[in-house]
Structure 1
Amino acid sequence: MNGQYPKKNVLGQLAIVLHAHLPYVRKNERNSLEEDWLFQAILECYIPLLQSIESSKNENPLNTKLTISLSPTLLSLLDNKQIQETFPSWIETRNDFLNELPQKEKNASAFLIKNLNDKYLYWQKCSGNLIEKFRVLSISGNLDILTCAATHGYLPILRENPETVKGQINTAIRSHENIFGIKPLGIWLPECAYYENLDEILFNSGIRYAILDGHGILNSTPRPRYGVYAPICSKKGVAFFGRDSESTLPVWSAKDGFPGDKVYREFHKDLGWELPIFKLQKKGISTKRPLGLKFHKITDENVPLGEKEFYLENEAKKKASEHADAYLLERSKQLEKLTLSSSFKPLLVAPFDAELFGHWWYEGPFFIENILKNSSKYSIKLTNLKEFLLQKPNLQICDPSSSSWGQGGYHNYWINDANAWIVPEITKAGSTFVDLCSKNFNNELSLRLFKQAARELLLSESSDWSFILRAGTTTKLAKERIERHLFRFWKLVEMIKNHSNINLKFLEDIEEEDKVFPDININDWRK
């Protein structure tokens, strides 16, 4: 335990918000990179987080409160039966790799084999239906599930055609309602990106609250009296919560925060880089790449990857528990200081990418579990955003400022030399589609063409590809994705305009491959 517990009265509230998202990367090819993205997230992040929340709920149901956004594309992947059927063989492949290791490495990776089997058992018990697990936690009030823009489109660069923004928002809401049986009231704006008057579109779509980065709140008009420690309400009627950097930096920063501790698992040393290529190819994996099989610890940031020490799970869990206590102690001190300087009960909002917990920071779900179980000992009441608003707090009327949580705080990460070429391409496509949607649909085939064109437009607008191009990682894949969806979009537009030249085989093939948003509504793009 680090330090003493503060006084027993509640000092304030803490809302941890997780954003779970993957781009729509469905691919029929087995052992693909896209398949790895999803299955590693399921194995390392989504199942462990569900286990942590459920464990805490059993011990401390009243204070087990989290907000999580589940993006529509992620939900589409989790809801896909074909993908669910593939997960067992993916697990088996990784078990095989570990079991074939020399004895020394096999002993060091024993925790991984145990973890693979534990997570797979959880998967089997719920028949691969993780969505139902989230739904149950939502019904019990422990989780507030938000939506996100349909394909995580970066909304500020779509604003030239407001109907394309509406298409992103309304498609997401409809998809969420179709899966959970209830319309979402809250939204995670992709990259927490906001532009002036976006709140009007949100309100008209039924959205009542969202999260922004801190400066999106602090630079509001007028300036908010309580800074980021209380939500504001825009003149259009949407509540906005602001990220508290003091509550987030220790958790997300590997350099300045907990995840960089030397006993934690090393992210970059993966068995997939070290196995001979013939062993990978024997399992149908064509190139060297991370497999999610990591069993070394950070050791020291200056130690080369080849000299990292073996990971010790118990040591790492002990440290994660200590870090959770340290985090809660600092939040209690922060809340106590805020309470002394003002008459209101402050709210700390701590938003993170969900994949930080388990994927990037392997011990993250255990850290979250300790936060959920122990926060009340530090006089901190955990809440979720919906529950907080149900308390009917008095909110100051302010118009939030244009902002994002990306590097630089505004929009330059998604509009720069590496990816700016995308903007005129998707703007032109969006404008064309909005104009087309003003026309009447002649028959059922025309409607199919329109709906698939809408899907391809949405998929081309995903901010993930812009992010990857700027980050310089899998740029070839990102560029290919954008160009593929835009090519399909324009080919469908050509068919819509020229009814006598319809390629049914082409339509059927992409309807099968880009099988997302079955309830898409073309009216969302009409002026």
Structure 2
Amino acid sequence: MTDEGTFCLVLHSHLPWLPHHGTWPVGEEWLYQAWAHSYLPVLDLVHRLGEEGRRDVLTLGVTPVLAAQLDDPYALRAAHDWLGTWQLRARHAADRWRAADPLLRDLASAEHRAAGWAIEEFETRWRHGFSPVLRPLVDAGVVEPLGGPATHPFQPLLREPVRRFALETGLADSARRIGRAPHGIWAPECGYAPGMEHDYARAGVRRFLVDGPALRGDTHAARPVGGSDVVCFGRDLEVTYRVWSPKAGYPGDPAYRDFHTFDHPTGLKPARVTGRHVPPERKRPYDPEQAAAAVTRHAEDFVATVVDRLRELRARHGRPALVVAAYDTELFGHWWHEGPRWLEAVLRTLPAAGVRVTTLRGAVEAGHVGAPVELPASSWGSGKDWRVWDGEQVSDLVAAGAAVQDELLALPPGTPGHRDPARDQLVREALLALSSDWAFMVTKDSAADYARRRAKIHGDRFGELAGMVRGGNHERAARRAAELRAADGPFGHLDARGLACGS
């Protein structure tokens, strides 16, 4: 086998905190779809590769918010119910399409089988949640875990004490779930401000991701940031965008299953993309044979693209190079039905093409580290700056978030050594109000009203509890905190004593 270079696949799993907050497009239905169609098949693929003896298969980021949901007893029960409903919907589709196109009849059968497999997988491997599935893969070195700050805030907009507390809380949450704190993170939105590498170093983080333009496209190696020993990896957009870009990518192929076209009586998606400008009523029935051929074609194209890119980088830099491709996990199976099959084809084909497949940790150990770099303020969003999370459209959210942080830090200190559940809850509400998801939804006009409402709900809850704490109404604050904690919420172990207030 020739040594063409090294490839790192990084998957980032994140959804906002959703249970008890409504239905599609931004509620529990979203979580259970991603669970069934992405997390189950992707982790099954990784598990099978691990059983074959593969190690350092990929780097997997799971945000603390999502990890909490996938371990939550309420969510586990509801997800199991959802899987059963999926199978019932497939049975209904079989009756509904009995006299229809044979492709639709086959689709109903395939959906029933897929639902049955998911139920069995859920009832055996996933019955106690996500952490017992992930931890053995981490312990065996099959995957490298990435962590992140609690509640997915855009870190550059956080006051330094809040930023440090959110990061430490998120890493501690990961340690509780998988037995160790990750040494790498995919920062929310790849948000970076100069100097944040020192926050990372204090928290034990040794590597993080940025978008390629932050390195002016020079992504052939990891780079130490500033004067620290923390390294950054840049997403290679030339390769990453082959799969999914702001304008194109494999999932838009006419043969693939169309995500947006529903058969509303069954809730299933019976059509293929057919064409970019074809209306839903004119889309053709999904043909799995055509889709399988497209998967093969696109896997081969991606492998060829990686090899060509590695050769180009090696010629330019005079040494074996690195390519990092990074995606949301939900792309594979949820948004792109055929994504898990494509992923398996790529991970099996790249080694045969002479490419070493490893993790970010493995890339550092293999020596793919270049010269130090000074990073600019950046993110992965539009313009690769902060405009999505700090632009004019969300100026009200930014101002409200700043006010929450200032009020939080101005609270009188608690009793030394005493853990106060009311303070724990108000800090939790503050962090949820600061989630970057709300600004993203508003800027991109994706359920903007919902996002503003969620930010306000958590901000108001924080303000209510903060007022009680300032006024010395400790019993009332404790009762209200218990009500909110019982209603919904991650991080029951969040300890506000780690945040210095009143200083």
TM-score range, shorter chain: over 0.9
Higher relative contact order (CA 8 A, sep 6+): 1
Instruction: Tell me whether 1:256 sits opposite 2:248 in the alignment.
Output: yes
Instruction: Tell me whether 1:297 sits opposite 2:290 in the alignment.
Output: no
Secondary structure of 1:14's aligned partner: strand
Instruction: Tell me whether 1:498 sits opposite 2:471 in the alignment.
Output: yes
User: 2:403 & 2:391 partners in 1: Cα distance?
Assistant: 18
| 1:386 aligned to which of 361, 379, 394 | 361
Deviations 1:466-522 (A, max 9, x none): 111112122222111111101110011011111237254422210112432233232
Deviations 1:375-434 (A, max 9, x none): 111111101011222335554122212111101110111123332211111111111212
In structure 2, give the amino acid aligned to 1:475.
A
| 1:363 aligned to which of 323, 334, 338 | 338
Structure 1 stretches (4+) deviating beyond 4 angstroms?
A: 28-33
- Equivalent positions of 1:184-199 (< 5 A) are 184-199=182-197
Residue of structure 1 in register with 2:403 after alignment: 428
Are the counterparts in 1 of residues 135 and 178 from structure 2 also a CA contact under 8 Å? yes
Secondary structure of 2:341's aligned partner: helix
Instruction: Tell me whether 1:332 sits opposite 2:307 in the alignment.
Output: yes
Residue of structure 1 in register with 2:156 after alignment: 156
Structure 1: runs of 5 or more not aligned: 1-7, 220-226, 280-290
User: 1:56 & 1:325 partners in 2: Cα distance?
Assistant: 19
Secondary structure of 2:7's aligned partner: strand
Residue of structure 2 in register with 1:147 after alignment: 147
Are the counterparts in 1 of residues 84 and 119 from structure 2 also a CA contact under 8 Å? no
User: 1:374 & 1:111 partners in 2: Cα distance?
Assistant: 26
Are the counterparts in 1 of residues 54 and 142 from structure 2 also a CA contact under 8 Å? yes
For the structure 1 residues 333 and 440, does the alpha-carbon distance in structure 2 shift closer, same or farther, using more than 3 Å as the test?
A: same
For the structure 1 residues 236 and 340, does the alpha-carbon distance in structure 2 shift closer, same or farther, using more than 3 Å as the test?
A: closer
Are the counterparts in 2 of residues 163 and 524 from structure 1 also a CA contact under 8 Å? no
Residue of structure 2 in register with 1:168 after alignment: 166
Are the counterparts in 2 of residues 59 and 373 from structure 1 also a CA contact under 8 Å? no
Are the counterparts in 2 of residues 202 and 238 from structure 1 also a CA contact under 8 Å? yes
For the structure 1 residues 100 and 348, does the alpha-carbon distance in structure 2 shift closer, same or farther, using more than 3 Å as the test?
A: same
Residue of structure 2 in register with 1:232 after alignment: 223
Are the counterparts in 1 of residues 153 and 434 from structure 2 also a CA contact under 8 Å? yes
Secondary structure of 2:391's aligned partner: coil
Secondary structure of 2:146's aligned partner: strand
Secondary structure of 2:285's aligned partner: coil
Deviations 1:180-235 (A, max 9, x none): 1111100111111101111111111111110000121238xxxxxxx210111021
User: 2:53 & 2:279 partners in 1: Cα distance?
Assistant: 42
Are the counterparts in 1 of residues 422 and 477 from structure 2 also a CA contact under 8 Å? no
For the structure 1 residues 508 and 331, does the alpha-carbon distance in structure 2 shift closer, same or farther, using more than 3 Å as the test?
A: same
Residue of structure 1 in register with 2:414 after alignment: 440
Instruction: Tell me whether 1:84 sits opposite 2:58 in the alignment.
Output: no
Question: Shift of residue 324 of structure 1?
Answer: 0.9
Residue of structure 2 in register with 1:373 after alignment: 348
In structure 1, give the amino acid aligned to 2:297.
E
Structure 2: runs of 5 or more not aligned: none
In structure 2, give the amino acid aligned to 1:450.
R
Instruction: Tell me whether 1:208 sits opposite 2:206 in the alignment.
Output: yes
In structure 2, give the amino acid aligned to 1:36.
E
Residue of structure 2 in register with 1:485 after alignment: 458
In structure 1, give the amino acid aligned to 2:189.
E
Structure 1 length-normalised TM: 0.88
Secondary structure of 2:74's aligned partner: helix
| 1:409 aligned to which of 375, 378, 384 | 384
Question: Shift of residue 77 of structure 1?
Answer: 0.4
User: 1:28 & 1:257 partners in 2: Cα distance?
Assistant: 32
Residue of structure 2 in register with 1:56 after alignment: 49
Question: Shift of residue 56 of structure 1?
Answer: 3.0
Question: Shift of residue 305 of structure 1?
Answer: 0.6
User: 2:468 & 2:483 partners in 1: Cα distance?
Assistant: 15
For the structure 1 residues 134 and 314, does the alpha-carbon distance in structure 2 shift closer, same or farther, using more than 3 Å as the test?
A: farther
Are the counterparts in 2 of residues 248 and 350 from structure 1 also a CA contact under 8 Å? yes
In structure 2, give the amino acid aligned to 1:192.
C
Question: Shift of residue 240 of structure 1?
Answer: 0.3
Deviations 1:61-90 (A, max 9, x none): 15x610110000001001111211222221
| 1:524 aligned to which of 469, 494, 498 | 498
- Equivalent positions of 1:265-344 (< 5 A) are 265-271=257-263, 274-275=264-265, 291=267, 293-344=268-319
User: 1:254 & 1:461 partners in 2: Cα distance?
Assistant: 26
In structure 2, give the amino acid aligned to 1:124.
E
| 2:429 aligned to which of 449, 456, 459 | 456
Are the counterparts in 2 of residues 14 and 382 from structure 1 also a CA contact under 8 Å? yes
User: 1:471 & 1:30 partners in 2: Cα distance?
Assistant: 20
Are the counterparts in 2 of residues 26 and 513 from structure 1 also a CA contact under 8 Å? no
Structure 2 length-normalised TM: 0.92
Are the counterparts in 1 of residues 389 and 439 from structure 2 also a CA contact under 8 Å? yes
Deviations 1:263-305 (A, max 9, x none): 101011023xx33xxx9xxxxxxxxxxx5x2121001112111
Instruction: Tell me whether 1:397 sits opposite 2:372 in the alignment.
Output: yes
Are the counterparts in 1 of residues 272 and 283 from structure 2 also a CA contact under 8 Å? yes
Moved more, 196-205 or 87-96: 87-96
User: 1:108 & 1:230 partners in 2: Cα distance?
Assistant: 44
User: 2:208 & 2:341 partners in 1: Cα distance?
Assistant: 27
In structure 1, give the amino acid aligned to 2:461.
R
Question: Shift of residue 170 of structure 1?
Answer: 0.8
Question: Shift of residue 31 of structure 1?
Answer: 8.9
Q: How many aligned residue pairs are there?
A: 491
User: 2:48 & 2:289 partners in 1: Cα distance?
Assistant: 18
User: 2:304 & 2:52 partners in 1: Cα distance?
Assistant: 21
For the structure 1 residues 131 and 443, does the alpha-carbon distance in structure 2 shift closer, same or farther, using more than 3 Å as the test?
A: closer
Question: Shift of residue 338 of structure 1?
Answer: 2.1
For the structure 1 residues 32 and 508, does the alpha-carbon distance in structure 2 shift closer, same or farther, using more than 3 Å as the test?
A: farther
In structure 1, give the amino acid aligned to 2:116.
N
